[in-house]
Structure 1
Amino acid sequence: MHNSRLISPSLLGRTALEAAPLLLGQTLVRVTEDGEVRCRIVETESYGGAEDRGSHAFGNRRTARTEVMFAAGGVAYVYLIYGMYSCLNVVVGDPDDPQAVLIRAVEPLSDKDAELMLAYRGEFSGKKANLCNGPGKLCRALRIDRSLNGYPLNRGDGMLRLEAGDPVDELPIVQCPRINIDYAGEYALKPWRYYIEGNPYVSVKDKQPTPWKQA
């Protein structure tokens, strides 16, 4: 049994831009019939508010898909890309202000965690980090799908939850532009992707990342 505590409610109440770097180093826990799988969050992207052209909720667009983004911070937003791969986001901020942080990559915390993730992921090629170094990959490795859309991430007995992890001020965090959002115009260039520099599970290393400093 782990001596674990849930992530701070104040973090989940922040904007996506504030929360995205602060989620790095925190622990994502997925409970399955085989037991708990525990991972460190190592890469995130901010999708903040109605003005962000990269966001599904740009212009306060409220649809069946985006409605969960307008919830109060602390629930999961799970959507499909290419009609087949789930992506996990953490909804943050105030109600009616669509703020979400995409979880882009995680690192299993133990060999046992990695073994379960490998069993769920199925065959894959290349190095160990390829297990969960991308939003679709980590959802397959953690059995996260649309059935968890809207699920509360702040319950101690939850099947999917966020627990406090590494102190953020001890991590080498960098920031750079987000990935695959060319449609977002000038917002495609904003440095709203964050990752732990040097971590092998990061999906894409930027050539010129900027060190992130906590305000």
Structure 2
Amino acid sequence: MTNTLFIADLHLCNQAPSITSSFLKFLNYEARYIDALYILGDLFDSWIGDDDPNPLHDYLAFSLRQLSIPCHFLHGNRDFLLGRNFAYRAGINLIPDEYVLEVYGQRLLIMHGDTLCANDILYQSYRQIVQCRWVKNLFLAIPIYTRKHIASIIRDYSKRVNNNKKIEIMDVHPQLVTEIMHAYRVSILIHGHTHRPAVHKLEIYGQPAQRLVLGDWNQQGSMVRVSHNDIQLVTFSL
């Protein structure tokens, strides 16, 4: 049976070699027998530019390029600076932040999910600033060591702030979910970001729908499997 897989929020980094190892096993086994793989952001815990000489990035680019199936990537809030240079080296296809596709007759909307957290006003303001083209170009123009320092400061500050936020603030806004699914004319939404894996049954203006939330790969792996017959949120041991 053919199927397509969706993953997100692996947060790969040098400090978590076990997750990297689990991802490589996933590529060598699960990803060998599918039609396509979609990575919905935050594949990396941090990305300061395609010119970062981190050996981990080269190793992962090589591993991804060995895939014999199409691999698509949309940006997360941690790796939104990942560019065409790395995509070319890895043999992956960059897709828009909000992307509609048809898989086995089912129309899906996929996204990272951070833009759905409308109640987190502080984060949304930050996102609007750092996603500006001129801000990104300015950041990428400064030396690598300065970028690393800035990224470290931002990560530490983000951790402190998020520890004091209510869970409801960092979760998706239900009305926004309804509006965006209606706007794209879909009954299935797949996203990550919140690290709260679940399948939510919805009703979009009188029609049944569902929102599938991918988990991170901290304690266990998480993926959504779409086949001709069904769509499942699957967790597995790392």
Structure-2-length-normalised TM-score: 0.26
Structure of higher CA gyration radius? 2
Q: Which has the higher contact order (CA 8 A, sep 6+)?
A: 1
Structure-1-length-normalised TM-score: 0.28
